[in-house]
A and B are shown apart, each in its own frame.
Chain A
Amino acid sequence: MPKLKIQDLEKIREKRKRTTMIREGGDYRAKVTVHMGTCGISAGARDIMNTLINQIEEKDIKDVLVTNSGCAGLCSREPMMTVEVTGQAPVKYVDLTKEKTKEVFEKHVLGGNIVQKYALGKGSEKTDYGKE
């Protein structure tokens, strides 16, 4: 039964030894939550999650926490993610694509500037049904 080789994992372990990845409850710069309800998944939330994983690896970021949550009740605006920069109000981004996700990651998660054009609403949960 061919498997993940222990040596491969050991190699990664060696490389990462001195760098501590953050965990829930630890110190982090920002937390990104991808909404993974049935609605989110069928609209492409998995692609959003994998774009984030690749961005974090590419840019070698160690203090951004990425996690999943369920349906937020705004199924028509999926895929969605919530960005919470430590100490600031959470912002929900809606109708995401891989490209929008990269932009939000660079500008908001890393840069601290909210990308207003993709945001549902800042802080509160106001919805803009008229736009659809």
Chain B
Amino acid sequence: MEDLSLHILDVAENSIRAQAKKITIKIQENRSKDLLSLDICDNGEGMDQKTLQKAVDPFFSTQKSRRFGLGLSLLSQAAQMANGHFSIQSQPGKGTKLRATFQISHLDTKPLGNIPETLTTLMMGHPEVDFQYEHKINHSKYSLDTQNIKSQLKEIPLNSPKVLNKIKKNIKEELDNLRRQK
């Protein structure tokens, strides 16, 4: 994976495969602590202790199409490489929560990448799932909730390309604004 936005897309796709109906993605960039954290939480079917222990093992997968599962092991490696940590918690029937942290100034910290495209790709493929996105840079915050957007759109589907491109532009502009603030 080239950047963190692709890891986010990958993990969210895991959640959807686990029947999640709501996925919360939270990014916090704290410059004074030199810390970037990524929290993803879903209300999917969750994992039991045995599965959870093997979740970051690259030679384990719950899928039958192949005998390896690289997604979580790659994210965990990306965090460790960047002087950060990776942790995952899960409860069968409740959902899964994961957290990855990165040292912002570390040479091996991957760039954030294209967050707007990751979010619109998820909305296009899974308009029935609710996505909550929160991005905090120091003390300023941007947030987006597809449930709100859907209620404003009424009968227009969230995955109409016109709507998605508008959302993509909005996320990009607002994140750029956050970055310009001190």
Contacts and interface: CB of A to CB of B under 8 A. Distances in A.
A6 B174 CA distance: 15
Contact of B170 (A4, A23, A38): A4
Interface string A13-54: 101110001010000000000101111011000100110011
A38 B121 contact: no
B70 to A, nearest CB: 5
B59 interface: no
Contact of B13 (A12, A15, A41, A53): A41
B121 to A, nearest CB: 5
Given A72-B65, A73-B65, A12 B124 contact: no
Contacts of A119: none
Interface in B69-86: 69-71, 74
Contacts, number: 116
B157 interface: yes
A75 interface: yes
Interface stretch (A62-70, A89-97, A101-109, A110-118): A62-70
Contacts of B117: 46, 50
Interface in B49-98: 63, 65-66, 69-71, 74
In this complex, the interface size class of chain A, counting residues with CB under 8 Å from chain B, is 35 or more
B170 A53 contact: no
Contacts of A13: 152-156
Contacts of A75: 66
A1 B170 contact: no
B164 A53 contact: yes
B6 interface: yes
Interface string B142-177: 111000010011111101111111110010001001
Interface string B113-130: 010011011101111000
A71 B70 CA distance: 12
A10 B125 CA distance: 23
A110 B177 CA distance: 39
B35 to A, nearest CB: 23
B45 interface: no
Contacts of B127: 23
9 contacts: A2-B142, A2-B177, A12-B166, A17-B156, A21-B159, A38-B74, A57-B161, A68-B126, A70-B13
* The 7 residue pairs across chains A and B that have the minimum distance between CB atoms: A68-B125, A57-B161, A73-B65, A38-B71, A9-B152, A56-B161, A49-B121
Given A37-B13, A71-B65, 9 more contacts: A3-B143, A13-B155, A36-B125, A41-B10, A42-B1, A50-B121, A53-B124, A66-B125, A70-B17
